[in-house]
């Protein structure tokens, strides 16, 4: 890989955008390499969760590579390479966590928002400044930000290009935790480990029901929940979870 590095610690795979000289800006190569790793890990049973982060101490991902913006045209916009990759991350069957170790702007924040969980280091700043360049957040920003922080805040952030501090992002619900920089990696890993200690089918179906239910009316969402729960009642995971609870021992789920 030219622009990213990967590592595997136990069942937690980490993808690090490795372009610190340009604050880990996203390029076509970065997107392609992330997609290739996701391909490889999707059916790899040794990888249970995926963490995204950036190299260096200044940036998670500063955004799209502006040097390539001049070449973007109608065809490139309709191809929506970044949007499609982030859609895939959002729908990825394994839990995803964004560990924001620095600036997260534009496409960088959109990458983080496509993940299931976001944790940020103290001092991290984030925003969607695309309007300053005469364009919009085009990789899911207008939609995911609205769902995370509400319409009013999303409109204000996008139209003014306002940059949030980590504390503001936590109050808005954009990130779930803000921790000292030196604790960021451990926090992301601990979060992943906690998820991986739960029933794997419950985790996968829980993510699916939450994602799909968020865009449905409540009755449809409740139906999805009911069907998922009914399915889980028939699984070995449910039997093991209940048996472990009654025996006051840790559950040993299949595939873990």
Average pLDDT value for residue range 25-54: 95
What topology is assigned to 4-196 in CATH? Answer: 2-enoyl-CoA Hydratase; Chain A, domain 1 (3.90.226)
Catalytic residue ranges: 110, 130
CATH code of the domain made up of 200-247? 1.10.12.10
Asked whether the predicted pLDDT for residue 22 surpasses 60, the reply is: yes
Q: What is the pLDDT of residue 256?
A: 54
Q: What is the pLDDT of residue 255?
A: 58
Give the gyration radius of the chain's Cα atoms. Answer: 19
Strand-strand pairing, 49-54 and 12-17:
parallel
How many Cβ atoms are within 10 Å of 77's Cβ, its own excluded?
12
What confidence tens digit (pLDDT) does each residue in 101-157 have?
Answer: 999 999 999 999 999 999 999 999 999 999 988 888 989 999 999 999 999 999 999
In the chain, count H helices and then E strands: 11, 10
Instruction: Parse the chain into domains and list their residue ranges.
Output: 4-196, 200-247
Q: What is the torsional sign of CA 161, 32, 112, 125?
A: negative
With a CB cutoff of 8 Å and minimum separation 6, the contacts of 76 are: none
What confidence tens digit (pLDDT) does each residue in 216-250 have?
Answer: 999 999 999 999 999 999 999 999 999 999 999 99
What confidence tens digit (pLDDT) does each residue in 51-96 have?
Answer: 999 999 899 998 877 777 767 778 777 777 889 999 999 999 999 9
User: Token match 């045209």: residue?
Assistant: 73
Query: In 3D, which of 115, 145, 150 has the Cα closest to residue 128?
Result: 145
């Amino acid at each position: 890989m030219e622009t990213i590095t990967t590592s595997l610690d136990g069942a937690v795979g980490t993808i690090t955008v490795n372009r610190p000289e340009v604050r880990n800006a996203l390029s076509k190569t970065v997107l392609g390499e992330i997609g290739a790793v996701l391909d490889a890990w999707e059916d790899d049973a040794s990888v249970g969760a995926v963490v995204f982060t950036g190299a260096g101490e200044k940036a998670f991902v500063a955004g799209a590579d502006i040097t390539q913006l001049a070449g973007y045209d109608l065809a490139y916009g309709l191809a929506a390479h970044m949007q499609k990759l982030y859609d895939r991350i959002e729908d990825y069957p394994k839990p995803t966590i964004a560990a924001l170790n620095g600036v997260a702007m534009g496409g960088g924040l959109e990458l983080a928002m496509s993940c299931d969980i976001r944790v940020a280091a103290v001092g991290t700043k984030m925003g969607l400044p695309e309007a300053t360049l005469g364009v919009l957040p085009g990789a899911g920003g207008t939609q995911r930000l609205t769902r995370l922080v509400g319409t009013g805040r999303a409109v204000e952030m996008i139209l003014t290009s306002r940059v949030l501090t980590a504390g503001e992002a936590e109050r808005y619900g954009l990130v779930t935790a803000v921790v000292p920089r030196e604790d960021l990696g451990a926090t992301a890993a601990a979060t992943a480990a906690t998820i991986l200690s739960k029933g794997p089918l419950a985790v996968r179906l829980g993510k699916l029901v939450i994602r799909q239910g968020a865009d449905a009316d409540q009755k449809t969402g409740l139906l999805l929940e009911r069907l998922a729960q009914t399915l889980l009642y028939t699984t070995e995971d449910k039997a093991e979870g209940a048996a472990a609870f009654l025996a006051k021992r840790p559950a040993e789920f299949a595939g873990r």
